[in-house]
Amino acid sequence: MTLRIHTLLHVVLAAFIFIPKPFFAEEPVLGEKIRDSSPDQKFALRISYDQKENERLVAELKNDPGEHALPDGMFSRAVTEIELMSVPAREKVVELYKPGLGMNFGDITLLWSTDSQWCAFYVTQLGTGDTQVYKEQDGKFAKINSSADDLHVKLKGDFRNEWIRPIKWVKPGLLILEDEATGNSGHVKFELTVRLDAGGKVHVLSQKKLKVNAENM
């Protein structure tokens, strides 16, 4: 009886030893691109991306003329997060954009005011481009407003695609944007000058229609 129990224990232990290990998804290897430092050198833009996914996309899409990497060198589909970080601590200050892995997006722009207290972040996706304005408060940045709210021209007509790009900080709190739209109602472009206060209120100071180049129509 004792021999049988010992034999059974050996069989059970052997079964545990030879049970195949469960499959786990491979952990991403994160790379990063640091750029667009603030004038006072206390903050910068950080783009985090999955290096292995980017290498896979490079190999898969190298002969596809319709696919292009971002100017920063990685494919947007490999990007995991875009954020402001502190310098030199490299701590996350605020998340600017969190794309889903595999999501396509285009231009990334970050414009700083001369006092480093304001920044305008721009990203394009799916035929649109959105600008978000952030204001520094006690070492942290909070979103003040975005072109999805009222940093744009009130267009009349059928315009399915619209890009509102930040062009220049005239001075802290005073921003020039370009609003370009296309659709069944045509192709239009405007220059918009707005003043923002820390509470998020937008004051439109001027807007003027710009000429659209024929080759872009």
HEC assignment per residue over 159-183: CCEEEEEEEEEEECCEEEEEEEEEE
Q: How confident is the model at residue 23 (pLDDT cuts 50, 70, 90)?
A: very low
Q: In this model, does residue 213 exceed pLDDT 90?
A: no
Question: How many Å apart are CA 85 and CA 96, to the nearest integer?
Answer: 10
Q: Rounded to whole angstroms, how far apart are CA atoms 201 and 72? A: 34
Whether residue 2 has pLDDT greater than 80: no
Rounded distance, CA 121 to CA 106, Å? Answer: 13
- Give me the percent of the chain exceeding a pLDDT of 70: 85
Q: What is the mean pLDDT of residues 145-160?
A: 87
pLDDT digit string (tens) for 73-114?
899 999 999 999 999 999 999 999 998 777 889 889 999 999
Residue 39 structure tokens: 């004038």
pTM comes to 0.82
Q: How big is the chain, counted in residues?
A: 217
Report helix, strand or coil for 156: coil
pLDDT, averaged across the chain: 85
More confident residue, 101 or 199: 199
